[in-house]
Amino acid sequence: MSSPSPSRSPVPSLAGLAVLGAAEVVSLAVYAAVTFQQLPARYPSHFNAQGVADAWARGDSPIWFFVPAVAAGLWLVLALVSFAVTGMPLSNINLPQKALALALPPEMQDTVKRLVGRLILIVGAFIVAASATVQWMMADVAIGGAPRPKLTPVFAMVGVTLLVAIVQSVGVSRRIRAMSAETRDEARL
């Protein structure tokens, strides 16, 4: 079974992933704005490792928007880096199977750079989703009246984000090895 050609990859384009991540950030900001209107006069804004509130904020405090602001900032940085990667020399990028990737012809090196850019955006999208989970947990306690935050979904999202990063990195590595083998096979002919 052959691997998909670079133009027919099952992973969305960089622009498509950038739009997806931006939509996530906007959705998170809208959720924060809607829930901000429902905040009580005083709500817990930080929790210790046991899930007990150890800091409080006023209901009109802009601290409610801290998580969405950090998520938006991280997304912007990751989006810029993902697009910058496609224009820089492959030798400047830290990636698996780098020696094999550097031996590839230029058009295949461009494919590798796009794959790395996609990896960055995919991980970024999961980071924004994890941030949304944190915001939801905060709203559950502040507005929903939960006595303690439900940390399981937050830890699950962090775990999924790490797993996605690992799987995507392995995918890039496999793709580099496959392109390298394809180049060697063509050279033998």
Read off the pLDDT of residues 133-177 as tens digits, 9 standing for 90 and up: 999 999 999 998 888 888 888 889 889 989 988 998 898 999 999
Contact 55, 45 (CB under 8 A): yes
Rounded CA separation 88/97 (Å): 17
pLDDT surpassing 50 at residue 4: no
Confidence label for 8 from pLDDT (cuts 50, 70 and 90): low
Contact 97, 158 (CB under 8 A): no
What is the secondary structure of 13-56 as a DSSP string? Answer: PHHHHHHHHHHHHHHHHHHHHHHHTT--SEEEEEE-TTS-EEEE
Per-residue pLDDT tens digits for 48-79: 888 888 999 999 999 999 999 999 999 999 99
Q: What pLDDT score was predicted for residue 43?
A: 92
Q: What pLDDT score was predicted for residue 12?
A: 65
